[in-house]
Amino acid sequence: MKKVSGAFYGIIWLFFFWGFVAASNDILIPLFKDKLQLEQWQSQIISFVFYIAYTVGALLYFTISKFIKKDLLLHIGYSKGLVVGLLVSLCGILFFIPAANTGSFSALIIGLFIIGLGFSLQQTAANPLVILSGDPDFGSQRLSLAGGINNVGTTIGPFLIAMAVFGTTSNTQTAQLEYLKYPYLILGLAFALAALLIFIFSKKLNTGTQQNSAQEESSSLNILYVIKKQRVWMGMLAIFTYVGVEVSSVSNLSEFAMQKANISTQHIAPFISLYWASLMIGRWASSADIFSEIKWKQILLKIILPIIALLLFVSILFISNKELINLKFYLPFVVLLIILDLLSKGSAARQVMIYSIVGIITILLGIMSEDVFSVYCITATGLFCSTLWPCIFELSIKGLKKDTGTASGLLIMMIMGGGWISVLQGYLSKFPTIGISGSYAVGIICFIYLALFGLKNRNTTNIS
């Protein structure tokens, strides 16, 4: 069986959309915090609303499936599910017009909530499709490659939003909120075009994936039965904590950078972009095995691809006329990532365990150090979050067959961890004895569970 089927290339570019919006939220948080004089935990409502929408979307998916007594996506087809999800997200984009024109926080969070609802359905369909679109032994690597596309969006998004509201020069001090709507309206047009193309090529997409999936209609969508499976409930908690530490680390980064290194809101975009680029760097390294059967070439690609990803970020930085001081502090972390990726030897469980342990260390370094180096330490956490999603997803749904769709929906539902943990961290930071630095202990707790999850599943499966 081929490592990658044609259906895979038909859906990976959707990952770009998800990344663009998710990363752009990290610019909206400090922007609206400054404009509306919000407390740190209040500004985290932006993350909370966006990620809680995934839970609501998953619950709607289960409710509808229960009502029609069939798995919704298996009934209507994966491609139609993707189209519906894109159109729902398009409706959410329209709320950015009043949000930008009037500075309406309510319009912003309503829009983000609706976008998140659409993304929930899209991801419920797309993630298992990626894993099933080719040789099952390379499922998590295909998801890493798709995640690499996602992180092109996360890398570009903060720059474009910052350029829209602050202008093209680093000297601009005042945010022009009314210009916020333009990049999102362009994204809305992309949603519409994507929905049209998927609809046109829906037959090929469904055929290419359903032949590989070998899934059956479930006679009774017994969610409790699926949740009781150890790999599912442990995977759900792993997704909750993983998305939690990934999102909370960056959504609180602006406040952390301001207090630790006196980096203002208008200058935070490069650091936020680098955080999300870190996930791209790690995922490109992990996906190297897909491109060659020869071992020495795979090793070479594991070195070359993350370097190319880093150079892509630097190129975007240069084109956008932004500065990132002392980038040399970040480079040793990239070298460490490459070494750890090679040491993981293709094991999804081993990679989760190793990366989580190193994630704990990077956060501790960030808490204990000062100035811009501390900011780079927190930023480097993204490197070691990079492949946790595909590894957790593969370990959680492997061998479930007809229950794959239900399990996927349950996992997507736990993306809400990004909202809950971000708000929790923001709330804890208000206490003087904890502060923004101490609040990052929440991320350490998340990584501890993830390391235990990897240890528990170390004999379950391999990436290759």
Cα 18 to chain center, whole Å? 7
> Quick one: pLDDT at residue 209?
47
**Greater model confidence, 370 or 210:** 370
CA dist 118 and 94 (Å) reads: 13
40-54, 115-129, 155-169, 348-362 — which is least confidently predicted?
Answer: 155-169
pLDDT at 124: 80
d(CA 446, CA 350): 17
Pick from 115, 120, 86: which is nearest to 99 by CA? Answer: 115
Separation CA 67–CA 75 (nearest Å) = 12
Cβ–Cβ < 8 Å for 289, 147? no
DSSP H helical segments within 289-440, as ranges? 295-319, 331-343, 348-368, 371-385, 388-397, 404-413, 417-428, 435-439
The answer to whether 350 touches 451, Cβ cutoff 8 Å, is no
C-alpha torsion sign, points 26, 87, 144, 356: positive
pLDDT single digits (tens) 70-103: 778 777 777 788 889 999 999 999 998 888 888 7
Average pLDDT, the chain: 82
pLDDT at 439 over 50: yes
pLDDT in tens, 148-179: 777 777 778 777 777 776 665 444 445 567 77
Is the CB of residue 24 less than 8 Å from the CB of residue 159? no
Residue 287: which residues within 8 A CB-CB, separation 6 or more? 141, 142, 144, 145, 148, 305
CB 393 within 8 A of CB 404: no
Distance CA 16, CA 149 (A): 6
The dihedral sign for the CA sequence 118, 12, 422, 241: positive
218/397 Cα distance (integer angstroms): 16
Specify the pLDDT at position 435. 93
Task: Give CA separation, 29 vs 82, 93, 258, 352, 393, in Å.
Answer: 28, 17, 14, 29, 28
The pLDDT of residue 147: 72
In the block, tokens 């202008």 appear at: 167
pLDDT over 90 at 201, yes or no: no
Task: Report how far residue 112's alpha carbon sits from residue 46's, in angstroms, rounded to the nearest whole number.
Answer: 8
What gap in Å lies between CA 334 and CA 306, rounded to an integer? Answer: 8
Give the pLDDT band of residue 307 (cuts 50, 70, 90).
very high
Higher pLDDT, 11 or 167: 11
Q: Output the CA–CA distances (angstroms, integers) from residue 398 to 394, 403, 456, 458, in the order listed.
A: 6, 10, 15, 14
Tokens of 451: 């390391």
**Amino acid 6: pLDDT:** 63
Instruction: Name which of 395, 81, 138 is nearest 286 in CA terms.
Output: 138
Region of poorest pLDDT, from 67-81, 104-118, 223-237, 332-346: 67-81
Range from 132-146, 179-193, 238-252 carrying the lowest mean pLDDT: 132-146
Phi, psi of 234 (to 5 degrees): -70, -40
In this predicted structure, the answer to whether residue 5 has a pLDDT above a threshold of 70 is no
**pLDDT for residue 31:** 74
Residue 440 pLDDT grade (very low, low, confident, very high; cuts 50, 70, 90):
very high
Give the model's pLDDT for residue 171. Answer: 43
Angle formed by the axes of helices 105-132 and 78-93, nearest 10°: 160
Q: Amino acid identity, residue 347? A: S
Higher pLDDT, 149 or 452: 452
Take residue 403 and report the two structure tokens written for it. Answer: 């229950």
Q: What number of other Cβ atoms are within 10 A of residue 345's Cβ?
A: 11
Instruction: Give the Cα separation of 10 and 57 in Å (integer).
Output: 23
Alpha-carbon torsion 362, 49, 159, 149, what sign? positive
In angstroms, the CA 8 to CA 290 distance is: 13
The mean pLDDT of 435-448, rounded to a whole number, is 96
Given a contact cutoff of 8 angstroms between Cβ atoms, the answer to whether 281 and 320 are in contact is no
What average pLDDT does the segment 314-339 reach? 88
Pair 141, 463: CB distance under 8 Å: yes
CA distances from 75 to 68, 78, 205, 216, 357 (A): 9, 9, 15, 10, 42
Q: Is the pLDDT of residue 8 over 90?
A: no
Give me 422's structure tokens: 């971000």
In one letter, which amino acid is 102? T
Find the helix or strand (DSSP H, E) in which 287 lies: none
How high is the pLDDT of residue 463? 42
pLDDT-derived band at 214 (thresholds 50, 70, 90) equals: very low
Q: Do 385 and 239 meet the contact criterion of CB atoms below 8 Å apart?
A: no
Please give the full DSSP string across 197-265, using - where no structure is assigned. Answer: HHHHTHHHHHHHHHHHH-----SS--HHHHHTSHHHHHHHHHHHHHHHHHHHHHHTHHHHHHHHH---G
pLDDT over 80 (residue 392): yes
pLDDT, tens only, 102-132:
878 888 889 989 999 998 888 887 776 776 6
Of the chain, the percentage scoring pLDDT greater than 90 comes to 31
Tokens 């619950």 belong to 59
Q: In the predicted model, what is the mean pLDDT of residues 359-385?
A: 95
Name the residue among 108, 449, 463, 38 with its Cα closest to residue 285. Answer: 463
* Length of the chain as a residue count: 464
